[in-house]
């Protein structure tokens, strides 16, 4: 039944129906693929985000079962960052960005393809409209106004292709906006894990520096610079006063 409806519709809309149908089919395939990815990632990370942040703040990962979320983007990100804890901030940043990009970029590419289809579909419908109107004017040139049935076929083809193009484009465009927003939300969640880990690492390094024998209680570089300059000025003034006293004695 569905096949017959599609076949009859394609007969009425002409050859433009084939690329319209294929663009809609591929677009919905990509949309469903990204939705399955988001559902899988959200279900694995939504309940783990708070626990991950708590473990990062406490610097205690013993209670966190990373294997339970290891096949998710958040789990891979956390495992890699724990593995590179002793590395520099630049290394951790580059590693985290690489994992996030590797997880998200393929699905962003799929959404970009969907966005292209939402732009192509109305243009294909417009092309079908032009084709139908050309067919109508050919009929008028051959038969004049004596055969309205043939004229109606051309006008029908023109209107149906426009309808088909808009029917393909509007739902795809709506789903593109919705799915893109959810994908951005997942990216923000992954970046929040990375930023929390970096902040915790910086705080931990600061505490270690303060507790070191050298002591972070020493003044910062600028304060030490000002203090040294003040000591030098005082020393120069004392030398100048001593020189003046010697001249008075003479």
Task: Specify the pLDDT at position 130.
Answer: 86
Is residue 213 domain-shared with residue 248, that is, in the same domain?
no
Is residue 187 domain-shared with residue 225, that is, in the same domain?
no
Is residue 139 domain-shared with residue 243, that is, in the same domain?
no
Q: Closest Cα to residue 53, out of 196, 207, 188, 154?
A: 196
Q: Which of 6-20, 155-169, 195-209 has the lowest mean pLDDT?
A: 195-209
Give pTM, 2 decimals. 0.68
**Above 50 in pLDDT, residue 35?**
yes
Sign of CA dihedral 30, 35, 38, 41: negative
Is residue 160 domain-shared with residue 249, that is, in the same domain?
no
Is residue 141 domain-shared with residue 17, that is, in the same domain?
yes
Q: What does pLDDT average to over the chain?
A: 73
What's the Cα-to-Cα distance from 11 to each of 4, 83, 158, 161, rounded to whole Å? Answer: 10, 61, 12, 11
Give dist(CA 175, CA 33) in Å, integer.
12
Q: Which of 134-143, 189-198, 215-224 has the lowest mean pLDDT?
A: 215-224
Mention every residue, 6+ apart, whose C-beta is less than 8 A from residue 123.
Answer: 165
Is residue 144 domain-shared with residue 240, that is, in the same domain?
no
Categorize the per-residue pLDDT at 222 as very low, low, confident or very high, splitting at 50, 70 and 90.
very low
Domain count, the chain: 2
Is residue 149 domain-shared with residue 243, that is, in the same domain?
no
Task: Specify the pLDDT at position 175.
Answer: 94
What pLDDT, in 10s, does the model give residues 98-122? 888 888 888 889 999 999 999 999 9
Domain that holds residue 122: 2-218
What pLDDT, in 10s, does the model give residues 36-94? 988 888 777 766 666 666 666 666 655 555 555 556 777 777 777 777 766 677 777 78
Is residue 31 domain-shared with residue 58, that is, in the same domain?
yes
Is residue 106 domain-shared with residue 170, that is, in the same domain?
yes
Task: Specify the pLDDT at position 27.
Answer: 92
Is residue 250 domain-shared with residue 201, that is, in the same domain?
no
């Amino acid at each position: 039944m569905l096949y017959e409806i599609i076949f009859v519709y394609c007969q009425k809309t002409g050859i433009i129906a084939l690329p319209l149908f294929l663009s809609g089919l591929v677009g919905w395939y990509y949309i469903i693929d990204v939705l399955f990815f988001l559902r899988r990632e959200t279900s694995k990370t939504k309940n783990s985000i708070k626990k991950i942040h708590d473990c990062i703040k406490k610097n205690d990962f013993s209670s966190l079962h990373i294997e339970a979320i290891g096949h998710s983007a958040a789990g891979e990100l956390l495992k890699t960052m724990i593995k590179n804890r002793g590395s520099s901030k630049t290394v951790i940043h580059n590693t985290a960005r690489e994992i996030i990009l590797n997880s998200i970029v393929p699905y962003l590419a799929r959404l970009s393809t969907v966005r292209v289809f939402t732009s192509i579909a109305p243009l294909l419908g417009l092309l079908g409209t032009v084709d139908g109107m050309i067919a109508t004017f050919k009929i008028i040139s051959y038969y004049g106004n004596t055969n309205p049935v043939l004229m109606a076929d051309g006008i029908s083809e023109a209107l149906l292709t426009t309808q088909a193009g808009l029917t393909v484009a509007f739902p795809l465009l709506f789903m593109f906006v919705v799915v893109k927003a959810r994908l951005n939300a997942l990216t923000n969640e992954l970046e929040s894990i990375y930023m929390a880990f970096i902040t915790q690492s910086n705080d931990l390094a600061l505490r270690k520096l303060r507790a070191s024998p050298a002591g972070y209680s020493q003044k910062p570089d600028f304060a030490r610079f000002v203090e040294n300059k003040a000591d030098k000025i005082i020393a120069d003034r004392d030398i100048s006063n001593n020189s003046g006293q010697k001249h008075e004695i003479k």
